[in-house]
């Protein structure tokens, strides 16, 4: 009993700074969990990815192996993430979208703990360490992930940060262990892990410090792209490759163009969206400050991919493509503080940047909330009550066709559901669903819901309109109007993002 008490006491923060950070983290997790739930509940943001991630867990509890409904095959065909097995028991315990929101927010906040530990070692100042942790927690590309649907990149973030921490503290075993854990995350993680190779060489560490991440990354890449992915893909084309479509149609073309066609690479870098993207990304980290430290290398792999990608979505700071980049920019800023201090001391004599510079980094991170936060997303829409009443008409588990795409977040806990884009607004495919939910209030969304889709159901004698209010329509197939045992054509597989 006494031993347990001692262990518990050891786990609790021992210093004032540690206790302050713990308090901040509790408030952070509760606030962002609440905000994420609110945004989802009020249907004020995108919901397509919530539907995908929720369904892969839901399906695994209902006889399918982590099913990705939009590609109609296992999720591992697209993302080879063994980490889903770690989260799965939690979801099995409380099978709800909100469980995943909570996991997401906890992962982000844990990365703040690791940042605190790193900062305390680097800056040797508790207040500055707390400020740097808060800077990471509120860095636009990181904090936005609390409320940007559901994505799995966030799960890896504390693991990657822990890799760095154990590298810094020269704890080899834990370093290797966390490299392996991190490599179980999204398939782009090994690229970031690979940066430990040049970093270890830079730091003149022994061979084992660079061989381990090299081996882990290489094995992870081979397993992901040569074994697991193809096994589950059944001939399906790796979707993320479409993001680099401007550089080629397959991996060999992409690499060939990157390595041997500088003009194509240059054109990719020169895309008009890259300028604003870089400004938005770098400004909260004080523009060039991260580049004063070699640790900025860890931000490079994802940053490089985002810059050359033809998909503009990767250049949106508040989306999940910038989680690692953002976190490592903050980390690099942290290492830049003592470096800049040393530089200034050479020029001006006695200069101390702590805690003012960490304070500035922290304030800059928080101050850029307009890049990702819009208060309107946390208030109910004018037709919220109507939405709730309309959705309540649709029984649990029945096949549903819905539009727009964002509504998928509310229908992903059933085995058959689809949106109008997946069935290409084609009546032959649309009429295979017993229930239809159309919310025509999102006129500015792209692609808009064709009026013909609504009219197709309104004019189909096999369907009856149960609900039509404030632009929201619910249709139900009349009993016995279609032989449901007839084979249903699978939804077409989207060819790109």
In 67-205, DSSP assigns E strands to 67-68, 73-74
SS3 content of the chain, % helix, strand, coil (to 5): 65, 5, 30
Give CA–CA dist 338/116, Å, rounded. Answer: 16
- Which stretch, 40-48, 257-265, 281-289, 309-317, contacts other proteins (CB under 8 A)? 281-289
Site string for other proteins, 193-232 (x = CB under 8 A): ----------------------------------------
Shortest distance, position 110 Cβ to other proteins, whole Å: 27
69 and 54 Cβ atoms separated by less than 8 Å: no
Looking up tokens 């680097």 gives 122
CA dihedral 180, 108, 192, 246 (to 10 degrees): 130
Shortest distance, position 313 Cβ to other proteins, whole Å: 21
Long-range contacts of 419-425, Cβ-Cβ distance < 8 Å, separation of 24 or more: 419/48, 420/449, 420/450, 420/453, 421/447, 422/70, 422/491, 422/492, 422/494, 423/491, 423/492, 424/492, 425/450, 425/452, 425/453, 425/456
DSSP state for residue 463 in the 8-state scheme: E
**Number of shown-chain residues binding other proteins (CB under 8 A):** 21
Q: What residues between 323 and 342 interact with other proteins by CB under 8 A?
A: none
Shortest distance, position 350 Cβ to other proteins, whole Å: 6
Q: What residues between 339 and 378 interact with other proteins by CB under 8 A?
A: 348, 350-357, 359-360, 363-364, 367-368, 370, 375-376
Give CA–CA dist 299/18, Å, rounded. Answer: 27
Shortest distance, position 143 Cβ to other proteins, whole Å: 16
SS3 (DSSP) at 418: strand
- Which stretch, 87-95, 115-123, 280-288, 409-417, contacts other proteins (CB under 8 A)? 280-288
Q: 82 or 359, CB closer to other proteins?
A: 359
Give CA–CA dist 77/59, Å, rounded. Answer: 15
- Is 386 a binding residue for other proteins by CB under 8 A? The answer is no
Shortest distance, position 351 Cβ to other proteins, whole Å: 5
SS3 (DSSP) at 14: coil
Shortest distance, position 166 Cβ to other proteins, whole Å: 30
Give CA–CA dist 42/385, Å, rounded. Answer: 10
Site string for other proteins, 396-435 (x = CB under 8 A): ----------------------------------------
Shortest distance, position 22 Cβ to other proteins, whole Å: 22
Residues that bind other proteins (CB under 8 A): 283-284, 286, 348, 350-357, 359-360, 363-364, 367-368, 370, 375-376
């Amino acid at each position: 009993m006494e031993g347990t008490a001692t262990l518990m006491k050891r786990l609790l923060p021992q210093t004032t700074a540690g206790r302050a950070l713990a308090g901040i983290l509790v408030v952070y997790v509760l606030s962002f969990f609440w905000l994420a739930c609110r945004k989802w509940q009020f249907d004020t943001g995108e919901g397509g990815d919530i539907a995908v991630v929720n369904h892969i867990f839901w399906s695994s509890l209902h006889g399918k192996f982590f099913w990705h409904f939009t590609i109609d095959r296992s999720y591992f065909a697209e993302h080879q993430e063994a980490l889903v097995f770690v989260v799965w028991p939690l979801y099995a315990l409380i099978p709800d979208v909100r469980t995943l929101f909570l996991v997401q927010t906890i992962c982000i906040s844990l990365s703040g703990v690791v940042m605190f530990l790193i900062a305390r070692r680097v800056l040797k100042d508790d207040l500055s360490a707390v400020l740097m942790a808060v800077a990471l927690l509120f860095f636009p590309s990181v904090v936005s992930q609390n409320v940007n649907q559901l994505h799995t990149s966030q799960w890896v973030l504390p693991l990657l940060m822990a890799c760095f921490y154990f590298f810094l503290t020269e704890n080899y075993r834990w370093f290797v262990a966390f490299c392996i854990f991190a490599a179980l995350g999204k398939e782009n993680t090994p690229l970031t892990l690979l940066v430990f190779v040049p970093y270890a060489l830079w730091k003149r560490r022994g061979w084992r410090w660079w061989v381990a991440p090299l081996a882990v990354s290489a094995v992870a890449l081979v397993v992901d792209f040569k074994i697991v992915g193809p096994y589950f893909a059944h001939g399906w084309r790796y979707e993320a490759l479409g993001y680099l479509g401007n550089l080629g149609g397959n991996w060999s073309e992409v690499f060939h163009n990157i390595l041997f066609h500088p003009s194509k690479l240059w054109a990719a870098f020169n895309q008009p969206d890259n300028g604003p993207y870089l400004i938005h990304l770098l400004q909260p980290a004080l523009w060039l400050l991260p580049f004063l430290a070699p640790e900025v290398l860890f931000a490079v792999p994802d940053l490089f991919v985002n810059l050359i990608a033809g998909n503009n979505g990767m250049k949106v700071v508040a989306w999940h493509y910038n989680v690692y980049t953002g976190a490592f920019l903050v980390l690099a800023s942290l290492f830049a503080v003592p470096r800049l201090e040393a530089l200034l001391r050479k020029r001006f004599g006695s200069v101390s940047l702590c805690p003012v510079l960490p304070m500035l980094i922290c304030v800059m991170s928080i101050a850029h909330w307009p890049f990702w936060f819009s208060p309107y997303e946390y208030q109910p829409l004018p037709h919220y009550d109507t939405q709730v009443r309309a959705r309540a008409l649709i029984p649990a588990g029945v096949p549903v066709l819905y539009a727009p795409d964002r509504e998928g977040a509310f229908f992903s806990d059933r085995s058959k559901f689809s949106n109008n884009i997946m069935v290409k607004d084609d009546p032959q495919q649309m009429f295979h669903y017993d229930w239809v939910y159309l919310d025509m209030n999102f006129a500015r969304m792209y692609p808009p819901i064709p009026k013909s889709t609504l009219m197709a159901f309104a004019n189909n004698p096999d369907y009856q309109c149960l609900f039509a209010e404030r632009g929201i329509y619910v249709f139900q197939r009349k009993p016995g109007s279609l032989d449901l045992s007839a084979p249903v054509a699978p939804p077409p597989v989207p060819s790109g993002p």
